Chain A
């Protein structure tokens, strides 16, 4: 067990950030804490890192690799932490940033200069920034800075790697590249990692398991497949993507709906097309039912061509498979 947090609560003067949260992370796992802002995910991460203290309570304890972190000074914990805004040392070169954790070790544990250089250079190679080693953080792009921050955290051979919205400040394309790169890196280095994010796509794509948080509580823990296809609560269902309320009682995702020009199914709902957005891998269609409720449907391009839909037309929306209705009916509570 790499991380074992038990009954963690955290109250700031104004509000409660965490309410009795317990979480276990296995060795070598990459886990994502996913939730909207204010859900407590960053607070939980900071408590695991030891940057914040959990509220004092008899049952509360946080173990990292078997050690109770409240009994260890911050500098002895060997926790790798990656901040959203990088927190690189602005007056140090890329090389010195990565070398920092090795240089501040107590004299007895310090590496010799040649060994240190080798280690840092290996890491720079890993993040593909060898040629940038003498540059300063202000001369790097956001994506490059975050890679330096990662290398800096990995340099101390952390027992756990904690990432606080590491790609949050980057633009969409760089974010996607880095996400893939992080996953590859994890396959190679295999250090137990906890990633905080508010981006469901990121969590589902990168993590072995996803922890969905809401208002200081854990809503569900599961593999990306489990949380997406078997959401434990309406919150999880809604948070993981668009969802339609069908017939006022059934939750259906946009890609689970289809559109017909005729009412071929008794359960079909007639609706008027408001907007068609066909740029992208799928076609997104917004409709309004006669009761004035909004529906979102996603269909493949071939289907869209076949139907030749135009905005303003009245069509019939149906759930593709009856199995889906049963599956989600229980998620309404």
Chain B
């Protein structure tokens, strides 16, 4: 009985809150027919939004890949003063509202911000331009990779690295041949999650982008503008791009989870 109730509640919940909206997106997108759909997604403004989204995601992933690896390595394999502070700081972007994250960058780099004058004098624009969009995205996707790697690296310990060094491997060889292969799936998993967030981020990017059409609009911002202009079908058409991306991410995530589990299979019992 209890089980049936729980199952019913879960199914209803997933159906109403997740599945139904997803279906609605696709139905609305095609309401005016396929030609309209194709026109909406090939609109120059949509294409430019897509281009900015992909560029932003690529750069923030590259940045977070380097930072995430370095921070996880530091936190998992060494103990130093300030270690737990660093660990908490990594989580900050999760804890802070994305809108606040965006405002922080306005405060720092905006025309009236701390570094506003210095930047304007040199003709550098960060806020209301592509660099601001990228900075905000890097900030909100900051924890994903590190959060994925730290527990795994902590669990694996440092003995394999010590063994490699004593066998004559240099620091770089140890990293490339021992550390990296041991964390590769978790790393890819973190990248997939960070990518999903980077492409879908709205709040922080909305604050710093300035919504300049064709220049600083990412896909989520473009969708919002279309929607606010009562251009519903076009908004949903572009939304299918993001939704499809989410589905691909989910599939990748499921595959990676399966891979990780396969590798973490309990070690064979002693014969």
Contact = CB atoms under 8 A, between A and B. Distances in A.
B257 interface: no
Interface string B257-271: 000000101011111
Which secondary structure dominates where chain B touches chain A?
Answer: helix
Contact of A104 (B159, B168, B270): B168
Contact of A90 (B165, B182, B271): B182
Interface in A95-123: 100-101, 104-105
Interface residues of A, number: 37
B165 A74 contact: yes
Contact of B168 (A49, A51, A75, A88): A75
Interface stretch (A134-142, A186-194, A224-232, A292-300): A134-142
Contacts of A6: none
Contacts of A144: 271
A228 B163 CA distance: 34
A87 interface: yes
A185 interface: no
Contacts of B59: none
Interface stretch (A78-86, A235-243, A305-313): A78-86
B173 interface: yes
B181 A51 contact: no
B166 interface: yes
A144 B159 CA distance: 18
Nearest to A109: B168
Interface string B154-168: 000001101111111
B268 A141 contact: yes
B169 interface: yes
Contacts of A51: 162, 166
A141 B163 CA distance: 20
Given A100-B164, A101-B167, A156-B168, A141 B270 contact: yes
A261 interface: no
Interface in A120-162: 137-144, 152-153, 155-156
A170 interface: yes
A74 B270 contact: no
B162 A81 contact: yes
Contacts of B271: 141, 144
Q: Which of B160, B164, B166, B268 has the most CB of A within 10 A?
A: B166
Given A90-B160, A143-B270, A49 B181 contact: no
A14 interface: no
A177 interface: no
Nearest to A100: B167
Nearest to A142: B270
B45 interface: no
Contacts of A137: 267
A104 B160 contact: no
B166 A77 contact: yes
Given A87-B160, A89-B160, A138 B268 contact: yes
B83 interface: no
A81 B163 contact: yes
B120 interface: no
B167 A156 contact: yes
A171 interface: yes
Given A138-B268, A170-B270, A83 B170 contact: no
A18 to B, nearest CB: 19
Interface in B153-200: 159-160, 162-170, 173, 177-178, 181-182
Contacts of B270: 141-143, 170-171, 174
A91 interface: yes
A152 B270 CA distance: 20
Nearest to B165: A74
B163 A83 contact: yes
Given A139-B268, A141-B270, A174-B270, A89 B178 contact: yes
A49 B167 CA distance: 11
Nearest to B266: A138
Contacts of A74: 165-166
9 contacts: A50-B166, A74-B166, A78-B168, A83-B163, A87-B160, A89-B164, A104-B169, A104-B170, A174-B270
Given A87-B162, A91-B182, A104-B168, 15 more contacts: A75-B166, A75-B167, A78-B168, A79-B166, A81-B163, A81-B166, A88-B160, A89-B164, A89-B177, A100-B164, A101-B167, A104-B169, A105-B168, A144-B271, A153-B167
